[in-house]
Chain A
Amino acid sequence: MAAPERPQSQRMWEVCERATGQVLRSLRQALAEPTTILGIGMVLVLAVLILVPVYEMLAETFTTDTGRFSLEHWQRVMTRQHMLYRPLANTLRVASVVTLLSLAIGSALAWLVVRSDIPWKSLTGKLCVFPFMIPSWVSGVAWISVFRNSSHFGGRQGLLESVFGIAMPPWMTYGYVPIVINLALHYFPFTYILVSNALRSLDSSLEEAAQMLGAGRWYVLRRITGPIALPAIVSALILTFTMAVGSFGVAAILGPPARFYVLSTITYSLVRNRFLSEAYVVGVVVTLIGLITIYLNVMVMRSRKSYATISGKGFRRKTVALGKLKPLAIGFVLVVVAMAAFIPVGVLTWDSFSSAPGVYTIDNLTTHFWIGDSRPDLGVVPEAEQGILRNPAMLRGIWNSLRLAVPAGLISAFAGIVIGYIVVKKRGSLVSKALEFLAFSPYLLPKIPFALAYLVMFAHPRGPIPALYGTMILLIVICTVNRLPFSSRSGISGMIQVSGELEEAGLVLGARWLYRFRRIMIPLLRPGFAAGFVLAFISTMRELDLIIILATPRTTPLTWLVFEYNDLDVPQLASALALTIVLLTFAVYIPAQRMLGSNFLSGANQEGS
């Protein structure tokens, strides 16, 4: 070394000083901008609300009652056929067939609406997303009403038997087949939305170019149209499969009477029977399946060359004449939509006005279950209960639903915008990436295990956090977090549109941060906020999976009541309550659609219940 030697310690000291100075300076810079602090705060909050509960649940599966590490819960679950393997096999069986069916139905409908000359396209298109508005387990309730049979399962007649004299076999009433049919009819709108968007952005000239080179219809479909729509179909496939693996309501209503359990329902039943640790183990397994699917999705998407369609201009979309097949196509649409939406709603309506369930004659009609008085003189029968609109327990259910869905909707829409703001402003930074990932992560978590994780996390006070179990706050929190993937996504894309120059214009004029956010960003984002709220509100109104484990008598919302009354086999009350949920949903959805434009639902294309 040529440089004059200075004492080692002094050099060290200087280096340290410089480094510390740098750290302090960048820290000071970061803190001068509230976005960073806000971002770090949000990351911490989301970590506590998402990662910690999941970690706690995972840890719990390896812990004995006395707090020691052990594999006993896993061993017990692994060695019991009925706890894991059979439900796992059932889940995979259900999910794969549901996925295939809804892909087939959804793609066929998408092609018909976008590319064929099927009449009343706009109406048909609306009808195709309509089933999405009806909670899937509501159709499950209706299914029982139609298909039950006096010779099994409690002995009451269903619509088919009572009106047409057709006695349905037991496997059509409960278990695998009805679960698959109901889920497929509920999930096909997702495929429909994704694939119809893909087909819509497909320029006919791509197909015509192939025709000009001598390719016939099938060749074009196989080599051009199909492959171009494939990414959308793959997304739909993964999405549907994930949702089907995690889905609870339909399987909970249609499965247990036939002793048919899937992972989500076995988890619930384990919780009910106080096998909590075992439930956690199954919950972890469900979560893992979800993660594997999503991982596959990422791999598939990455391995495919991304090919943006080149030019958006001068676009032609030619429709294919259906010719003689037209009546068949119309019939197909009608049957699907009727089975998925109109028949269930119709059956529920009838049931809610039926004096005796399963009797389909005019003189059986009554308004008792809506507005009737209580009749204690009748003893312990359904007719003794008050009509739901006068029954304090039911009214409290409605009230609970509202005081759950309104705050959850508001908070998640607002959080979505704040997250979007931070992610976009801090693009490229660690905070931005962490926040984006965290906000998206609930998407990877099936609902029942996620609710279980909350049970682990919030059953007891932890540090500054009180025991939230049993409070409405917990339900609001979990419903809000569950919506974050969607609200933050739209927050981010909204921010990308409005941030930048518009905000900088305010900055140049000297506006302070809060002022900028309040006066420039908020007004620009208001429509997105409204849409986010409406979607979150609707999905929370009919949320069953997340709350079934966490609700307590004081906080039970409508969905929980429907589930209970269905379990108690009081179809009139269950139907009336289910219908109330559907009506409340529409009461919000229809005006929102008027105000926000008919397309806002497509932003909701990735959620189910």
Chain B
Amino acid sequence: MTDQSVTFTLNGQQREAAADPRMHLGDFLRHSLGLTGTHIGCEHGVCGACTVIVDGSPVRSCLMLAVQIDGGTVETVESLGKPGDLSPLQKAFSANHGLQCGFCTPGMLMTLEAFLRTTPAPTEEDVRVAISGNICRCTGYQGIVQAALDTASAKANRT
């Protein structure tokens, strides 16, 4: 099939690129645009590794076609902090050992990033439910949950 042009906002930048109509957003970000921070763990919408934020909501990029983001806004893990300048959530992941192999991590971060924007003062149960669509085989989840709680309470203390 012939490629289709898509125009969208990616991590704050206006982008235009060509996408094969059958290509999913995850592959498009990774292989067409070179943003390999987004990971593919199952390609059937269960593991959450591919989660990115589309128009403010967490979305499984393996279940969305690249052409569907035309006119939309996409945020990926690359939009958070940089190695020398981590975001509060990223710092909290490190402090709480919320990652081991790092494969689920971008999806976890983007899920929680979107969640904390709408739920600034979550309970532990809230956080566990929020990431109940993200599989982590390494951490047992506890460090991830604590990272989200710490980030929320640190923000509450600052404001």
To the question of whether A and B form a pair in one complex, the answer is no
Chain A residues within 8 Å of B, Cβ to Cβ: none
Chain B residues within 8 Å of A, Cβ to Cβ: none
